[in-house]
Chain A
């Protein structure tokens, strides 16, 4: 149908020029050499990729991966009880669900800054603790890995709550009653019946939290203060201060491959659509 082609044309043009093409440019840049004053120049080389294998950068990649996994795990531990609570709330389910989503609707920047406001030396937590006399000096709550993990868990919590909640809703309520009937205490019923059945939701939530965490830049930047270095920070640095575009591009390519690989893995295991 001609009308359909006309309708799809602008979208094709936008994605081709402003999405696909830029990514290919990055790919191309990753194979060039760093220029004398920061730009780019020929010759083509794989030098940037070779530098990636340097233990320093491998460890940064590895740490990002590890920390993203920690974020995912913590999110799971926090989100599961919440999802369980909401699914058992009868008529008020939508209300609780909306309340979970509400903070998420505000800007990521604002939400991340809010933790700066709370955690820094002159922040709310330290002020309260000092005034009560529990501590004599401000605690270094900010500018470390812990603060970044906290910030990321906070930012992406709804992504873990929603899939788990949706999964719990689909579980036959009779199953828990059957477990009770067969002599299982509530805790055991949870472990032996509920947890295995909510695995799809857990997996979906984990993917939805892990991937953005891995590629995050803003939260480590504001909450990590240079001491918590993630892949995103290094990439940004290469394109601004360090002026090593090929290396930044190579890192970007690696991050993209990681993200795409994880997506493909999840979809092959029967993952659903996003959003």
Chain B
């Protein structure tokens, strides 16, 4: 529909776009501000250097990356296999449960996992730690992989698998040699989505993390609360660029 765009519409849209970008632009701009206040005092990279030399930040980054990498690998495998199974024949129950994980408020999910872990720890000699975080992340990440891969499968020509079977491949070989290569971009897109979701999570992670498993979002949250050093701006700027690029890449892959 290319009806004419009135002046008011154009100005409103412009204002809304400004509203959308102002906060992030301000953050990134002031992350290179010389002074620690919100008065511009010249360009400086000192806050980024401060980040680099802060051991707490470095270890939190390492934790976040480790958790994200492990969760992503497992969530992608589980999610891709599940999407394939659902594509072959619908399972209302599983689909509903997957949607449940997407719809449940994070606070409820976090609290539930905490309660569950505590109940389990009465019988097992385990504590909260990296493993509890990773398991939690897998459970809410794999839903995204399922959505992305299932959408791609539904667009695929079903006769490709039949052709493979016809030519002598078993069911597993048909999946591995034909279907999987065809959905590879979607699997990668889902993996990237899972990775950025895991990297970004605060609510659930903060509830189920142990003493040794502080993640980057937890550090940001603590700094945001205390609001002392502007190095948080630098941290946020880095995350914006990193996570943003990953998701953009994921979108690109989904469209190919």
Q: Do chains A and B touch in the complex (CB under 8 A)?
A: yes
Q: B108, A215: Cβ atoms under 8 Å?
A: yes
Q: Is B175 an interface residue (CB 8 A)?
A: yes
Q: B232, A4: Cβ atoms under 8 Å?
A: no
Q: Which of B21, B38, B119 has the most CB of A within 10 A?
A: B38
- Complex Cα spacing A235 to B248, Å: 34
Nearest CB to that of A158 among chain B residues?
Answer: B20
Q: A1, B115: Cβ atoms under 8 Å?
A: no
Q: A110, B27: Cβ atoms under 8 Å?
A: yes
Q: For A176, give its contact among B3, B77, B98 (CB under 8 Å).
A: B3
Q: A88-B5, A99-B17 are in contact. Are A118 and B103 (CB under 8 A)?
A: no
Q: Determine chain B's interface SS by DSSP, over half rule.
A: helix
Q: B27, A117: Cβ atoms under 8 Å?
A: yes
B217-233 interface code vs A (CB 8 A; 1 in, 0 out): 10011001101000011
26 contacting pairs across A/B (C-beta < 8 A): A1-B88, A1-B171, A5-B85, A8-B91, A11-B98, A19-B104, A19-B139, A25-B115, A25-B119, A29-B115, A82-B12, A84-B9, A85-B12, A100-B17, A103-B20, A105-B247, A109-B200, A109-B217, A109-B224, A113-B220, A124-B26, A171-B1, A211-B103, A217-B107, A249-B111, A263-B103
Given contacts A114-B236, A173-B2, 9 further A-B contacts (CB under 8 A): A4-B89, A14-B78, A18-B139, A78-B19, A109-B220, A110-B27, A117-B23, A124-B30, A256-B105
Q: Chain A interface (Cβ within 8 Å of chain B)?
A: 1, 3-5, 7-8, 10-12, 14-15, 18-23, 25-26, 29, 78, 81-82, 84-90, 99-100, 102-103, 105-111, 113-118, 120, 122-124, 127, 131, 154, 157, 168-169, 171, 173, 176, 186, 211-212, 214-218, 222, 232, 235-236, 239, 245, 248-249, 252, 255-256, 259-260, 263, 274-275
